[in-house]
Amino acid sequence: DAGITQSPRHKVTETGTPVTLRCHQTENHRYMYWYRQDPGHGLRLIHYSYGVKDTDKGEVSDGYSVSRSKTEDFLLTLESATSSQTSVYFCAIRTGTGELFFGEGSRLTVL
Amino acid sequence: AQSVTQPDIHITVSEGASLELRCNYSYGATPYLFWYVQSPGQGLQLLLKYFSGDTLVQGIKGFEAEFKRSQSSFNLRKPSVHWSDAAEYFCAVGAPGGSNYKLTFGKGTLLTVNP
């Protein structure tokens, strides 16, 4: 199984503060993704990466930025968190057989 | 752009009954298709996938799905549901090839299983 670690797993923060979520993988997969999950919306893609320093926007990228300076780490940053960004965030990697393998999620609450 | 519709937000079945969850996709060619399951408070687990070939695919936990190009559908089925199947199910579509590979998910179907 692909090894994905998300940190932190839970975070409570206040409106206007910066937040960074980290996704770490152990198997050198090229593609990495950040999704958010909200009731009634399923999973929506925020940003994805197809290599070191190669990233692109997903369908809900406003208010988020990402960085990938090395293969194993994909960081998601909320520059100034808002209450609408309260969500569960999932990182995923694309496996060699084409499906996405997901981390356990990071629950973010913005007060 | 690719998209997925799961028409049923919530389905309730009795244990032992058969199950079919519907999924319709929009994509110009033959897509990659997936079904994932999510138990409460957990991450997503892949049930099965379709890339090409035989249109009836078998997955884990006794699930199967059938790709029907004419109907743009990829419905998930199970002949006899167990109480442990209660979860949320997501259909997803991906576009083969290129550096912009990504999956688009439906909004999910919540399955309740009555004893």
pLDDT in tens, A47-94: 999 999 999 999 999 999 999 999 999 999 999 999 999 999 999 999
Residue B1 has pLDDT above 90, yes or no: no
- Cross-chain CB nearest to A56 (options B43, B51, B100): B100
B20 min Cα distance to partner chain A (Å): 19
Tell me if B9 sits within 8 A of B75, measured CB to CB: no
Higher-pLDDT residue of A16 and B98 is A16
Determine the residue of chain A that is closest to B5 in CA distance: A42
Contacts of A74 (CB under 8 A, 6+ apart): A22, A23, A25, A32, A34, A49, A66, A67, A68, A91
Beta-carbon neighbour count of residue B111 at 10 Å?
21
Residue B97 has pLDDT above 90, yes or no: no
Question: Cβ–Cβ of A99/B34 closer than 8 Å?
Answer: yes
Q: How confident is the model at residue A2 (pLDDT cuts 50, 70, 90)?
A: low
pLDDT in tens, B18-35: 999 999 999 878 889 999
Cis amide prior to A8 (ω within 30 degrees)? yes
pLDDT in tens, B53-94: 999 999 999 999 999 999 999 999 999 999 999 999 999 999
**Beta bridge mates, A34:** A47, A91
B108 min Cα distance to partner chain A (Å): 6
B39 touches chain A (CB under 8 A): no
Residue B30: per-residue pLDDT: 82
Question: Cβ–Cβ of A43/B105 closer than 8 Å?
Answer: yes
Please give the share of chain A, as a percent, with pLDDT higher than 90.
92
A54 touches chain B (CB under 8 A): yes
- Cross-chain CB nearest to A102 (options B6, B32, B44): B44
DSSP B31: P
Residue A98 has pLDDT above 90, yes or no: no
Choose among B89, B74, B63: nearest CA to B27. Answer: B74
Residue A109: per-residue pLDDT: 98
Give the separation between CA A87 and CA A70, rounded to whole angstroms. Answer: 26
Mean of pLDDT values over A92-108: 93
Determine the residue of chain B that is closest to A50 in CA distance: B99
B89 touches chain A (CB under 8 A): no
Q: Is A18 exposed, middle or buried (0-12, 13-18, 19+ CB in 10 A)?
A: exposed
Choose among B78, B91, B88, B101: nearest CA to B33. Answer: B91
List alpha helices for chain B, DSSP H. Answer: none
Residue A87: per-residue pLDDT: 98
B104 touches chain A (CB under 8 A): yes
Residues of A in contact with B101 (CB under 8 A): 31, 50, 94
Choose among B32, B44, B91, B82: nearest CA to B61. Answer: B82
Type of residue numbered A90: F
Residue B98: per-residue pLDDT: 73
Give the separation between CA B46 and CA B86, rounded to whole angstroms. Answer: 15
